[in-house]
Every structure is written in structure tokens, then in C-alpha cells.
Amino acid sequence: MTGLTIHPRRALHELISKGGGGRWPPTATFQDSWPLSLKPYHRVFLAIAQLVSVSSASLDDGENRALIDQSRGSLMAALRDNVDSEAVRRTLDAGSDALGVSGWLGFFACIAYLRHAYRWGISPIVREAQHETGLSFPPQLNTPWAALQHVFGFISPGGNLTSNIYCAFNARRDLEYSFTVGMSTVHRETERWNATLFLEMECKAAPMYDLMVVSIEAIEIGSATATLQALKSVNGHLKEIFKYFFDNLTDSNVSQELWMAYVQGPHGWALDGIDGVSGGQSLVIRTVDAFLGIRPFPTPEIESLHIPREQRTWLNALRAYDIRTAAKTMNDTSVEMELETMVKHLRVWRMGHMKRMVSYEGVPRPERQNMTAGKSLVAIEVAPDESAMVEHLRQQLALRLAQTK
């Protein structure tokens, strides 16, 4: 197709090199790879990690306010005692060469964790923090965040799926930054498995992304046979990705009782009208939508809140190519049918996801207002209780299911 600002092949290369540190999903490195001035941020994490999560949430607003203020005070003190702000500024002013892509990715995960820890104060999150409409962050967290926004090209004041999930894993496939430090094995495994589901889906999607580009290149040279072969392989990978998710999203891996309180909650944001981390930021799902031209496309302003620059470039390259329109020029119905098979896989995924979310989103959490991490607070008149909240979410997901055609 003509008129593309960037070819999907180049966009995929930049996703991997500039957005992933040479691999996809992103390869993050942590404090050992950072300049000396940035290493103290990891020490701050170690100092406050066990102060964030509590074993049971209080229903007393006054008690929770005291706990939030105490936790934030401890984090501010740790930042003040450990971080040399001027040295940090000099390092960050040096630009991308200061860390390399993988170092930036690990630093992204660290600062995102600290900002979310400061935003909520305690986990499980409580309505006393949810009621806040604005919050001033310590300069030791604002300065690096501005640099990270520039490097990765996003604008949200809070973390996203890339910073909080993809980049939080170390080489041992453990979470380097965790909201359940000091908690039980079930708490920690629920958090780890939740993150692993997203990471492993991207691991399985990496060869699929390349095959999508192969199918586009095959159309460009007019080879229906090569196009069909690539698309069949794409569908094979897609089935495997979805099967992996549903096979492993089980209560034995991700506890229904704990997920909303100790996983979904602290990854939310609900501040200044900005949403938090959401499964809707998953690159593999957005990629399939973009590849198939599933509309409406998100507005650039909304997508740039949470989706890093190289991921957006990749998605927009697929959208601009419009493979379903291009396939019609080949006069080969088998290619068009294979693309429709992909649409059917995506519809089955969305129907299954609607069913699975009910048991997780419907768990009562009396210490908080109804909130989804990716859609922030839900007005009491919209969802006065958990059952109404689940129905509200079901309607939102049903809308996207109806658009998947």
C-alpha cells in the first residue's frame, strides 16, 4: 500500500531495538547496569517494599489516612536520604546513552513502582486514597519520570503495562519490583502469575508479529500462496496464545480472593482523571486489532497516554497498511477467509474474557470504591455494588466484541 509513513517491517525492527532492548518482549536490566547516581532508587525500593502491603484492609477512613501518610512519609524520607537529586539530573541530562535501552527499561520499572507506591500509600488500596483528586509527588520521582516520558514517548503520570509488567521481570523470570514483598506465598504467586500471563503472551506473540509482516510482504509481491501460508501460521500462534491464557488463568495460579486487592488495585491510578495499568494495554491484543483493522481505532491522544512510542508506531503501521483491504486485490478468497478466521479467534477470545472476568471483578472489597485499573473509578450511580460493577464491565467488553468484525 502507498502512503505509509513507515513500513511494518521497519516498525517491528524499531519496536524490538528501541522499545525492547534488542528482544521482544522487552529485556530490562536493573541496578547493576545503572549509573552510580541512579542505583539508590533500588535501595529506596528495598527500604519501603515491606511497608506497602498489609495483610488486611481497615474500613476506618481515619486509620487508613494515618497509614497512607506514614507510608508516604517513609518513602519521602528514603528518597531524601538516598538520592542525590543533582547527580540524578546530570545523569539523565546525558540522554539515552546514560543507560542503554535495557537499563532505561529497568529504571522505568523501578520509578513506576515507586510512583504507584506513593500514589496509593498502602495496598490493598482504600477509598481514602481514591478520594484524592490530585497529588504532589516528590521531585526525586518527578525528575526521572519526565526523562522516562521523553525516552519512551508516553504522557501518563502513572505506569503502564510496559513499565509495571513487561519490564518488571529479571533474568530469573521473577518480579524485580513487587507489591507483595513480605506477604504469603499465595499473595506473591498471584502477583507473579498475573504478570507472567501478560509476559508469556508477548513471548509467544513475537514470532507471530514477524509472520504478520511476512504476510504483508507477500501481498506486496503478489504471492497469494506465501500470504496464505504466513496467515495460517499467524492463526496457529494466535490459538496457542489464547489457549495459554485461558489454561493458566485459574484460581490455583491467580487467586480470585486476592487478585483485586493485591494485583489490580496498586496498578491502578485514578488521579487527575487518568487511568492506570490495564490488560487493554496488552500489545498482542492491540496488534491483532490493528492488523485486522478492527475499528474504531483509539485516538492518538488516548493511546499516547499509556502506550510507548515504538509500540504505537508498530500499531499504526499495521493500521495504515490495512491488510484486509489489500487482500481483496489478490482475487484469492482463501486469503480473505484466513483473515476472517483470525477475526473469529479474536471474537472467541473476547467472549471467553468476558466470562472469566466475572469471578475476579465481582469479589467484594468494602474498603474501596468500585474501580477498574484501566477505567478508574466507576460512579456510584453506575455501579452501586459488585454485581452492578460486573454488569457495567460486561457492557464495556460487549461493546468491543460487537465491534470485532
User: Both 142 and 214 in a single domain?
Assistant: no
Alpha carbon separation from 369 to 125, 135, 149, 259 (Å, rounded): 9, 18, 29, 16
For residues 238 and 296, membership in a common domain is answered with: yes
Q: How far is CA 337 from CA 231, 232, 332, in A?
A: 10, 10, 9
Q: Is 145 helix (H, G, I), strand (E, B) or coil?
A: helix
And the C-alpha cell for 70?
506514614
Domain count, the chain: 2
Integer Cα distance of 153 and 311 in angstroms: 10
User: pLDDT tens digits for 140-184?
Assistant: 999 999 999 999 999 999 999 999 999 999 999 999 999 999 999
* Nearest in space to 86 (alpha carbons), one of 153, 130, 29, 143: 143
Under 8 Å CB-to-CB from 239, ≥6 apart: which residues?
A: 345
| For residues 231-237, average pLDDT | 98
Using CA atoms in the order 14, 16, 21, 27, what is the torsion angle rounded to 10 degrees?
160
Q: What b/e readout covers 82-101, taking b as 16+ CB neighbours within 10 angstroms?
A: bbeeeebeebbeeeeebbeb
Q: Are 50 and 150 in the same domain?
A: yes
Verify that 106 and 207 share a domain, yes or no.
no
User: Which amino acid appears at position 39 of this protein?
Assistant: K
Q: With contact defined as beta carbons under 8 Å apart, do 288 and 315 qualify?
A: no
| CA-closest candidate to residue 115, choices 89, 147, 95, 144 | 144
Domain ranges, residue 341: 186-403
Which DSSP string do the residues of 283-324 spell out, in sequence order? HHHHHHHHHHT-SSPPPHHHHHHHS-HHHHHHHHHHHHH-HH
Residues 69 and 48 in one domain: yes
Q: Which of 120-134, 234-248, 356-370 has the least mean pLDDT?
A: 356-370
Distant-in-sequence, close-in-space partners of 220: CB < 8 Å, separation ≥ 6: none
CB 304 within 8 A of CB 313: no
* Structural domain includes residue 14: no
Residues 123 and 234 in one domain: no
pLDDT, position 94? 85
* 205 and 275 together in one domain: yes
Per-residue pLDDT at 97: 78
Domain ends where: 123, 155, 184? 184
pLDDT digits (tens, 9 = 90+) for 254-299: 999 999 999 999 999 989 889 899 999 999 999 999 999 999 899 9
pLDDT tens digits for range 57-66: 999 999 999 9
216/200 Cα distance (integer angstroms): 25
End-to-end CA distance of the chain, in Å? Answer: 22
Question: Chain centroid to CA 191: how far?
Answer: 14
Who contacts 350 (Cβ-Cβ below 8 Å, separation ≥6)? 397, 400, 401, 404
Does the pTM surpass 0.85? The reply is yes
State the average pLDDT for the chain.
92
Q: Residue 393 belongs to what H/E stretch? A: helix 386-403
Which domain-ending residue is among 158, 184, 210? 184
User: What gap in Å lies between CA 151 and CA 310, rounded to an integer?
Assistant: 10
Task: Report pLDDT digits (tens) over 183-200.
Answer: 999 999 999 999 999 999
| Residue 159 shares a structural domain with residue 191 | no
